[in-house]
Amino acid sequence: MLLKAAVIGLGRIGAEPSSRFNDQIPEGWLPISHVEAIKSTVGLNLVALCDANVERLHKMSAHYSVEKAYTDYKILLKEMKPDIVSIATRTDIRCEIIEHALDYGVSGFYAEKPISRSISECRKILTAIKKKDAKIVYGASRRAMDVYKKAKQICLSGELG
């Protein structure tokens, strides 16, 4: 069974092609963008994209061959009813998007960090997610990469002064 996925927010981390980093970063870091990650994941079907910038929306929907393109995430949620929503927007609207998505039955989220602007706002949205028996993952995957673990060790050691 394929899960329907949508990406809301098509900026650098949301949709820009990883090819811009050719020969600059280790292969294990790819894909960089939410769109590429979804397209490369077995079991996911990218059904829609959303961005307030019409020019970027058309450019990315054509680049990735995604037929459904929206400037209003509420309409996307209502019409497409995705199973998973990937959110790469400004922090100030992430919780609002998640709240609306929960109302439309979205059960999985990937959101850039930070999830919210405050601890109370974060607690509120995490409670809402839990109440709907949905799941969320946020953009901190690089913290588990060896290079970042080593950098943390160096910083904590006092070696840098």
| Contact residues for 59 (Cβ-Cβ < 8 A; gap 6+) | none
- Residue 6, sorted as left (phi over 0), alpha (psi -120 to 50) or beta, turns out to be beta
Total domains, the chain: 1
Of 75, 30, 84, whose CA–CA distance to 57 is shortest?
A: 75
CA distance 44 to 64: 14
Structure tokens at 26: 């280790």
CATH classification at residue 66? 3.40.50.720
Whether the upstream peptide bond of residue 17 has omega within 30° of 0, thus cis, is no
Segment holding 135, helix H or strand E: strand 135-138
> What are the pLDDT digits (tens) for 24-50?
777 667 677 899 999 999 999 999 999
pTM of the model: 0.84
Contact 95, 82 (CB under 8 A): no
Segment holding 84, helix H or strand E: strand 84-87
Contact 4, 81 (CB under 8 A): yes
> What are the pLDDT digits (tens) for 88-137?
999 999 999 999 999 999 999 999 888 999 999 999 999 999 999 999 99
Residue range(s) defining the domain that contains residue 152: 3-157
> What are the pLDDT digits (tens) for 39-90?
999 999 999 999 999 999 999 999 999 999 999 999 999 999 999 999 999 9
